[in-house]
């Protein structure tokens, strides 16, 4: 399983962020062909106390090739453009491959 991970720093206005993220951005992202699942985690702290991070979103694809194909679609481009519009200064992206063992 291949995934793209979006890690968001804490926004100034968490209520506005949540409203936009869950009601506008996630529905837009769910339209991406080949996207198998989305898991969103709110970060509530760290072993050292508070965390600068607020939210992690994992977007799952069958494999890296499926992700590459999905990335070429208009739906993927729309999602990417949208996240940069409302959270470009807050988000960092990573790629990962789940390991069984």
Separation between Cα atoms, residue 78 and residue 71, nearest integer Å: 10
3 phi/psi in degrees, rounded to 5: -140, 150
Separation between Cα atoms, residue 17 and residue 14, nearest integer Å: 5
Cross-strand bridge partners of residue 59: 4, 38
The answer to whether 46 and 56 have CB atoms below 8 angstroms apart is no
pLDDT digits (tens, 9 = 90+) for 14-29: 999 999 999 999 999 9
pLDDT tier for residue 101 given thresholds of 50, 70 and 90: confident
Task: Give the pTM.
Answer: 0.92
Separation between Cα atoms, residue 14 and residue 89, nearest integer Å: 14
pLDDT digits (tens, 9 = 90+) for 86-100: 999 999 999 999 898
The answer to whether 38 and 59 have CB atoms below 8 angstroms apart is yes
């Amino acid at each position: 399983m291949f995934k793209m991970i979006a890690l968001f720093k804490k926004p100034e206005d968490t209520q506005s962020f949540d409203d936009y993220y869950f009601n506008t951005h996630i529905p837009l992202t769910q339209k991406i062909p080949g996207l198998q699942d989305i898991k969103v985690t709110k970060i509530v702290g760290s072993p050292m106390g508070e965390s600068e991070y607020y939210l992690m979103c994992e977007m799952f694809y069958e494999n890296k090739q499926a992700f590459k194909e999905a990335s070429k679609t208009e739906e993927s481009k729309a999602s990417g453009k949208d996240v940069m519009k409302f959270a470009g200064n807050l988000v960092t992206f990573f790629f990962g491959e789940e390991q069984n063992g």
